[in-house]
Amino acid sequence: MGLGLRSLIIGFLLATASPREGVYAQEESSSSKSSSLESIDTPSHEPIASKYTDPSTGDPSILIAQTQRLNNQTLLWGPYRPQVYFGIKPRLPDSFIGGLMWAGVNDYQWLQKNFRHTCEQGDEVDGYGWVQYDVRTGGTQKVADRGNGVDLVFELRKVEGGQHGGHWGVRVKGTPRRDAPKDVTTALWFYAGLEGEGDINLVNEENYLGLEGDVTLAGQAPGLGKFKLTITEGPETNQHPLQEHQASLSKPLDRTLYKAFVMPFEHIWKTKADILFMHIQENLNRLMKEFGRENHPPAWDSFTLENVFEEGNLHMVQKTFVGAFEFDILYTSESAETPMTSDLLTQKILEFKETFPERFSAAFKLQPPFNTHEYTEFAQTMFSNLIGGIGYFHGTTLVDRSNADEYAEEDEEFWEGASAALKNADVKTEGPFSLFTSIPSRPFFPRGFYWDEGFQLLPMLEWDVDLALEIIKSWFSLVDEDGWIAREQILGDEARSKVPSEFQVQYPHHANPPTLFIAITEFPTHKPTNPPLHHTAHIDHQFQQILGGTESSSDMRTAHLSPPLAINFLQSIYPLLRRHFYWFRRTQLGDLKSFSHNAPFPKEAFRWRGRTPTHCLASGLDDYPRATPPHTGELHVDLISWMSVMTRCLRKIAVALDSAHTNSEEPSPYAEDIATFITMESHINKNLDALHWSAEENLYCDVTIDTDYEEPVHSCHPGYISLFPLLVGGIIPPDSPRLPHLLRLITDPNHLASPYGIRSLSPKSPMFAMGENYWRGPIWININYLVLVRLLEYARVPGPNQKVAREAYLDLRKKVVRNVYKEWKRTGFAWEQYDEGTGEGRRTKHFLGWTSLVVKIMGMPGEVALVQKEYVDWAV
């Protein structure tokens, strides 16, 4: 096919490991932002993909548009409200919103203590989440609800068809727990509303005793067209509370209760506190007046909706069951030829249960000793909860663009002035913006975090390349004209409701580790294990299906591995990456001029902004020990390592795009960039060694200024920061004299090696486990994953460090996986971090973000042979 995928990959890897020296291309300065940004955001030629004229692709522009349309269709619907136990919405702003709430209603205390809607850290549940899930087809979620005495299962399935994302259905099943009362009674409230234009109306005939049989709502909205929503009665085995009190005569609970509400669009999401609870309180007050305290009805008759049949933009139905129960919620897009039915939902449930395990095994290929049934079940749950936590967020954000002088952090004790400026910030509301993203944790961090996202995308690339690229595109759509992306995306009132007010405002001088560049670097060289779309014949067939509109959701997962689409993606994202990179260089630059730093190159040194004496939130490593007190002349080894990652990524993309451009009659706009990034990468890596390696400590360290002598000194705290030049790859060759010292730090039990993984800080540091102890000892899976990746690389290259790296890799891989598995079995949850002394999960539970990297670790080799051949060139 014209340029094959193999050629694209070769072009992506062409840049050598020893970049040539050269003069920098002119960089941006703050005084010439607008003109410089113009040049940064070129090239100004037509999309490279349009050069493809292979007959099997047809017109590439049509191919690109059709692929995007099909991705939008298959990804339109999902449980994209991860902060609630079950919520569903489309990837559309101000559109449909749906969700389910429930509580035990055997007595009055149950509802107050155990009402379930938003995922909360303190809920009495023994675990919850997706045990099998695929964003394009659906999955199975389980909630072990100890507090309410019932275990719930949600079987969500999507069905393709029509022009508006197809159908979906969810089967809700409840089973009493063994220790629950025999007559355990559960009330469930399903709601459906519109946060914007459109309408929803009840189809059933009004009945003030309640609705009999299935309940159907019909509606229409922009982007969705016409639709129907049916809440079924369920099987005959469903049981309901008996009519034992006079109150039940007016609302028999073997019927479905219904009420419509008229709400401001921006308040639709407040279904629990502002809508349902307020309505129930009014009902309780009425019952108290009618029956008094002595003859008050039971809880199940009191916590009920009033049957009110009015027009509204929020519709709520209530079902109340005794014992086990089951019912379906069926959404039908009327643009499809056939409706969604319970029989079709059953068929899709059975199909998915057969195909998901096969596809998962093909995608991740778990290696010994983790290729057993128990570990496979664990891996499926970990990964399913990662992608089951993907959300679509839309709304405004709070930003301080005052550009206060104190934010430049140029004065002594700059943090005090910056802190005062933050408190008096001129905060503005910006947006609305939209973001499609995965999240770290449903109960505690249900929003996008910039430095988490790159790690979270790595397992997704094994499963669904196009899904990962959709998320990357969404993130970089948020790059502002200066190149800034807020490190925490808190979009809209619903997202802000989960964030303390002091953390809601974002600051355009604060950065965050650019982990998305790691995921982007992996994309063009990624070779999926299912299906084999890198074969030309399959690609040709796929293009024909895409152009004909017959592509299935399963095939869309790797559409962008085809050359025209891959190149089009890289070309579209490259200017945004470049703009973002230059924002980093401009705003996080270190001061080499004012102090006698031993740096061979004057531009390549960097300092995180936003430092305080106890924290560096911008670094992502919050309380990890830094120089005390902070100094304007300090330099950060982790940040310069990230700058090397960004430069290497941009260099590789520029080489790939330049290679793809060779058939064009126009001159390549990437040649100058390639020379610039080769030089930058070389200078960054050389400055990194010159500035940050401490020969005295045999460690990479931050640099600060000795205030007595006004000279640079190293600030060394052995731990994760000491490893960053190794962690990011491409900097330390296997024969480096510094590598044995880093390997010793990793493997020494007196430093970072623990029985459960690599500690974040050495016990020999005086700051170990002190203060809030967030990054001062606990084990983090994202860093352990990077350590394993590098150990495996060194273990595969002959040399004096090969054997040590191999043994360390094999030992660490087993420790990390076994401990995360042990804690999952013990508690029912994955955790944010793990105690270095006991291995116990700590901090946030149900933290599937980068802790899900354990699935990637399980797929890494279980054995590594010692290769005996001459070392040539280890890096690309």
- Please determine, for residue 16, whether its predicted confidence score (pLDDT) is greater than 50: no
User: 743 and 801 in contact (C-beta within 8 Å)?
Assistant: yes
Span 421-473, pLDDT tens digits: 998 889 999 999 999 999 999 999 999 999 999 999 999 999 999 999 999 99
For the segment 851-855, the average pLDDT, to the nearest whole number, is 99
Range of the domain at 790: 723-876
How many Cα neighbours within 13 Å face the side chain of 581?
26
In a domain, 755, yes or no: yes
* pLDDT of amino acid 4: 42
In a domain, 283, yes or no: yes
**CATH code at 140?**
2.70.98.110
Mean pLDDT over the full length of the chain: 89
In a domain, 611, yes or no: no
What positions carry a catalytic annotation?
622, 832
Contacts of 348-351 with C-beta under 8 Å, sequence gap 24+, read 348/137, 348/138, 348/157, 348/159, 348/169, 349/155, 349/157, 349/171
Helix (H, G, I), strand (E, B) or coil at 704: strand
Instruction: Tell me the C-alpha distance between 772 and 758, whole Å.
Output: 19
Q: In DSSP terms, which residues pair with 142 in a beta bridge? A: 129, 153
In a domain, 110, yes or no: yes
Task: Give the residue among 113, 125, 120, 190 at the shortest CA–CA distance from 152.
Answer: 125
* pLDDT of amino acid 526: 52
319, 342, 360: which is the final residue of a domain? Answer: 360
In a domain, 762, yes or no: yes
* pLDDT of amino acid 517: 98
Q: How confident is the model at residue 617 (pLDDT cuts 50, 70, 90)?
A: very high
Helix, strand, coil proportions of the chain in percent (round to 5)? 40, 20, 40
CB proximity list for 201: less than 8 A, separation 6 or greater? 217, 218, 219, 311
- Please determine, for residue 251, whether its predicted confidence score (pLDDT) is greater than 90: no
For the segment 60-85, the average pLDDT, to the nearest whole number, is 92
- Please determine, for residue 273, whether its predicted confidence score (pLDDT) is greater than 90: no
Q: Strand order of the sheet with strand 96-104? A: 77-78, 87-90, 96-104, 185-194, 314-322, 257-261
For the segment 264-272, the average pLDDT, to the nearest whole number, is 88
Contacts of 69-74 with C-beta under 8 Å, sequence gap 24+, read 70/546, 70/549, 70/551, 70/556, 70/559, 71/466, 71/470, 71/556, 71/559, 72/165, 73/160, 73/163, 73/164, 73/165, 73/166, 74/136, 74/158, 74/160, 74/165, 74/553, 74/556
Span 150-162, pLDDT tens digits: 999 999 999 999 9
**Number of structural domains found in the chain:** 2
Q: How confident is the model at residue 336 (pLDDT cuts 50, 70, 90)?
A: very high
- 533 vs 403: which has the higher pLDDT: 403
User: 174 and 238 in contact (C-beta within 8 Å)?
Assistant: no
**Which of 13-22, 719-728, 795-804 shows the lowest per-residue confidence on average (mean pLDDT)?**
13-22
CB proximity list for 493: less than 8 A, separation 6 or greater? 266, 269, 395
**Which of 9-18, 306-315, 610-619, 851-860 shows the lowest per-residue confidence on average (mean pLDDT)?**
9-18
Q: How confident is the model at residue 143 (pLDDT cuts 50, 70, 90)?
A: very high
- Please determine, for residue 543, whether its predicted confidence score (pLDDT) is greater than 50: no
* pLDDT of amino acid 870: 52
In a domain, 823, yes or no: yes
In a domain, 505, yes or no: no
* One-letter-per-residue 3-state SS of 387-426: HHCCEEEEEEEEEECCCCHHHHCCCCCHHHHHHHHHHCCC
Q: What is the DSSP string of 113-162?
A: HH-BSB--TT---S-EEEEEEETTTEEEEEEEETTTTEEEEEEEEEE--T
Instruction: Tell me the C-alpha distance between 379 and 356, whole Å.
Output: 13
Instruction: Tell me the C-alpha distance between 804 and 792, whole Å.
Output: 11
Structure tokens at 748: 């020494």
**CATH code at 825?**
1.50.10.10
For the segment 90-112, the average pLDDT, to the nearest whole number, is 94
In a domain, 499, yes or no: no
* pLDDT of amino acid 60: 73
- 543 vs 327: which has the higher pLDDT: 327
Q: What is the pTM of this model?
A: 0.91
Q: How confident is the model at residue 537 (pLDDT cuts 50, 70, 90)?
A: very low
For the segment 799-812, the average pLDDT, to the nearest whole number, is 97
